[in-house]
Amino acid sequence: MNEQLLKICELLKKCKCKNVATFDLTENGEAKFFVVASCLNAVENKKVANELCENFELTGEKDGYHKGEWIILRFANIYVHLFIVSARTKYNLDRLYKNREIDLIKYVKKQKSK
């Protein structure tokens, strides 16, 4: 799953998403990650969501896809939240999970060394 998490984040950066942040929400021994990213508008959000769904196996629905301001995608235990900038500011998941933010590169290297 660590490789998939890394590949998802790489694809988000390739799609020119802004402020990609990763949060480790491990609870009860089950790994769960949130990835939060911003796009300029709803059209771009939908394009990125489509790109992610083409490259990774979606394990739920594309929540929020119709409106496109906040799209939630689930890939196994990785939840991707795509926001337009104003919605990201309004809901501020970054602040809510601030103490759970991880440096993804360091995290993956650490997991590989175990």
Closest to 19 (Cα-Cα) out of 82, 91, 96: 82
Cβ contacts of 93 within 8 Å, gap of 6 or more? 23, 34, 36, 81
Q: Do residues 59 and 74 touch, judged by C-beta distance below 8 A?
A: yes
Tell whether the model's pLDDT for residue 1 goes beyond 60: no
Strand order from edge to edge, sheet including 78-84? 70-75, 78-84, 33-39, 18-24, 101-102
pLDDT tens, 56-67?
A: 999 988 899 999
Question: 28-42, 49-63, 84-98: lowest mean pLDDT where?
Answer: 28-42
Q: Which fold has domain 2-113?
A: Beta Polymerase; domain 2 (3.30.460)
